[in-house]
Structure 1
Amino acid sequence: MIVRTLQAAEQSERRVVAPGGTWESTRLLLKNDNMGFSFHITTIYADTETHIWYQNHLESVYCISGEGEIETLEDSKVYPIKPGTLYILDKHDEHLLRGHSEMKLACVFNPPLSGQEVHDENGVYPIFGSSGKSLI
Structure 2
Amino acid sequence: MIVRTLAECENSDRKIVTETWDSTRMLLKDDKMGFSFHITTIYANTETHIHYQNHLESVYCISGNGEIETIADGKIYTIEPGTLYVLDKHDEHLLRGGSEEMKLACVFNPPLNGKEVHDETGVYPLEAETVA
Corresponding letter in the other structure for 1:65: S
Corresponding letter in the other structure for 2:109: N
- Quick check: 1:82 aligned with 2:80? yes
Matches within 5 A, 1:1-136: 1-18=1-18, 21-100=19-98, 101-128=100-127, 132=129
Q: Which blocks of at least 5 consecutive residues in structure 1 are unaligned?
A: none
Partner-residue secondary structure (3-state), 1:9: helix
- Aligned pair count reads 129
Corresponding letter in the other structure for 1:108: V
Q: Which blocks of at least 5 consecutive residues in structure 2 are unaligned?
A: none
Q: Hey, what's the Cα distance between the residues in 2 that align with 1:48 and 1:94?
A: 17
Partner-residue secondary structure (3-state), 1:8: helix
Corresponding letter in the other structure for 1:61: V
Q: CA deviation at 1:125?
A: 0.2
Q: Hey, what's the Cα distance between the residues in 1 that align with 2:70 and 2:91?
A: 7
Partner-residue secondary structure (3-state), 2:48: strand
Taking structure 1 as the reference length, the TM-score comes to 0.93
Taking structure 2 as the reference length, the TM-score comes to 0.96
Q: CA deviation at 1:16?
A: 0.3
Which deviations, in whole Å up to 9, do the C-alpha atoms of 1:49-90 show, x marking residues without a partner? 000000000000000000000000000000000000000000
